[in-house]
Amino acid sequence: MQVHESTTVATFADLRVDGARLWDSLMQLARIGATDKGGVCRLALTELDREARDLFIAWAKEIGCTVRIDAIGNIFARRAGLRDDLAPVMTGSHIDTQPTGGKFDGNYGVLAGLEVLRTLADANVRTLAPLEVAVWTNEEGSRFVPVMMGSGVFAGAFTLEHALEQRDREGVSVRDALSRIGYAGENEKPHAVGAYFEAHIEQGPVLEAHDKTIGVVQGALGQRWYDVTVHGMEAHAGPTPMELRRDALLVAADLIHAVNRIALDHAPHGRGTVGWLDVHPNSRNVIPGRVTLTVDLRAADDATLTAMDSALRAACSLAGEKAGITVDVEQVVYFPPQPFAAELVGAVKQGADTLGFASMDVISGAGHDAVYLARVAPAAMIFVPCKDGISHNEIEDARADHLEAGCNVLLQAMLNAAQKAGSADA
């Protein structure tokens, strides 16, 4: 192929992805681990994950990509640029799923990236900077904790060694699972990334409710997770008069209301959830003596998240005092709010405008690989609607035209970044 330096942004602006091919590839990938209810169960580093990885790599090689695997099993499929000294413009996501997962969560981001590369291969054009599609290991965290494991190692959120030592419920380590499926790659320093984009289904109802095709993601909510333990005293449900009880569950009920109120007090982005309760001794005729509950607080900026943290601690002391019992609050997880790079977010918005898609600014309530990538490179995300906002469910669904639209926005945003990459020193 003759490569011309004169390949211009104007030519690129006319390029469009093949929506039918994208859809077909999504459906083909979804057959690996397909469930009876139309979903996918493809847990990280299983034989099914290996099969899916092999398929992606075969597709990438078909269009001339070089493929590298790192030591935590992340896959990087690279399409050479005119200037291979430049840091690649990267996109990607994950192809592991929840046990009752869908066809689109993660898979869409990977295959949208592949479709971008296929489109460029068809048009026989080269970008200035190289392009890469990444498949991040164990994003879901369903079989191995922590979640977003591959991107977390890549971004230095935790060490490779820490990740490799984690074990599933059967006692199999990440290290052994990786070598079993043949995806323990080179232990090399993470390479520089010029820009990172990730396309993803929204996993929420906002775009659909506003009848928008593209969500221009401004950033991701910060998160604080807690284990709260209420220490009451168990006693017989019959002989113990109401005024003498130290009912831990009653205090926990107050706290559930408090968590909800704290989130409402910090609108529009405040979130507060109690998702899990452990009641001791959990017996019909015993006043609960001890309750542990999880609290998940989220906010768009750290000042708000800190205010919510103070409000939670105050609510716990108050509820405990009122009942004359102790409430312990332990924070177990902290993810800072992660704004995305203004320039890249602007490129996503511009892409949607130029292509004529209705868009709106949104914020990601969930964690994504892009949130870790944003620590080491300029990053942005593109959301497309999913049916009724449902994901992590076998009925997860998305419209082919929305997926195609998001992929076209991804194409334009990546081209924009790849051409700009060299402009400073070209």
Tell me how far apart the alpha carbons of residues 385 and 391 are, in angstroms, rounded to a whole number.
11
**Is 188 part of any known ligand binding site?**
no
Q: Tell me how far, at minimum, the Cβ of 380 lies from Zn ion, in Å.
A: 16
Stretch that binds Zn ion, among 97-105, 179-187, 191-199, 322-330 (CB under 5 A): 97-105
In the bound complex, which residue of the shown chain has the CB atom lying closest to Zn ion?
106
Min dist. Cβ of residue 109 to Zn ion (A): 7
Instruction: Using the minimum distance from each CB to Zn ion, give the nearer residue, 90 or 255.
Output: 90
Tokens of 173: 């380590």
Q: How far is the CB of 152 from Zn ion (least distance, A)?
A: 14
392 known member of a binding site: yes
The amino acid at 106: G
First to last CA, the chain: 22
> Does residue 73 touch Zn ion according to CB under 5 A?
no
Q: Report residue 239: phi and psi, to 5°.
A: -70, -15
- Cβ atoms < 10 Å from Cβ of 156: 12
Shortest Å distance, C-beta 66 to Zn ion? 26
Element (H, E) at 296: strand 290-299
Based on CB atoms, which residue is closest to Zn ion, 26 or 315?
26
Count of residues making up the chain: 426
- Using CB under 5 A as the binding rule, whether residue 92 contacts Zn ion is answered as no
Q: Does residue number 105 form part of the binding site for Zn ion (CB under 5 A)?
A: yes
**406 scored as a contact of Zn ion (CB under 5 A):** no
| Pairwise CA distance, residues 67 & 184, whole Å | 14
Shortest distance, position 139 Cβ to Zn ion, whole Å: 6
Cα gap 368→43, rounded to integer Å:
17
Selected range binding Zn ion among 98-106, 191-199, 218-226, 233-241, rule: CB under 5 A: 98-106
According to the binding rule CB under 5 A, does residue 198 interact with Zn ion?
Answer: no
199 or 252, CB closer to Zn ion? 199
Q: Within 10 A of 339 (CB to CB), how many other CB atoms are there?
A: 15
Helix, strand and coil in the chain, % to nearest 5: 35, 25, 40
Task: Return the number of the residue (86 or 217) whose C-beta is nearest Zn ion.
Answer: 217
Q: How many residues bind Zn ion (CB under 5 A)?
A: 2
Candidates 329, 257, 327, 270; CA nearest to 302 is 270
For position 254 contacting Zn ion by CB under 5 A, the verdict is no
- CA–CA gap between residue 119 and residue 410 (Å, rounded): 12
Binder of Zn ion out of 102, 106, 272, 337 (CB under 5 A): 106
Q: Is 5 annotated as a binding residue?
A: no
Side chain identity at 196, as an amino acid letter?
Y
394 binds Zn ion (CB under 5 A): no
Tokens standing for residue 45:
């580093």
Q: Dig out the tokens for 78 from the structure.
A: 């690279």
> Does 94 appear as a known binding residue?
yes
Strand (E) or helix (H) holding 345: helix 342-355
**101 lines the binding site for Zn ion (CB under 5 A):** no
Q: Pairing between strand 271-273 and 222-231?
A: unpaired
Cβ proximity to Zn ion, 70 vs 202, nearer residue: 202
Q: Do the annotations mark residue 247 as ligand-binding? A: no
Give the footprint of Zn ion on this chain (CB under 5 A). 105-106
Binding residues for Zn(2+): 94, 105, 140, 200, 392
**Binding site residues, as ranges?**
94, 105, 140, 200, 392
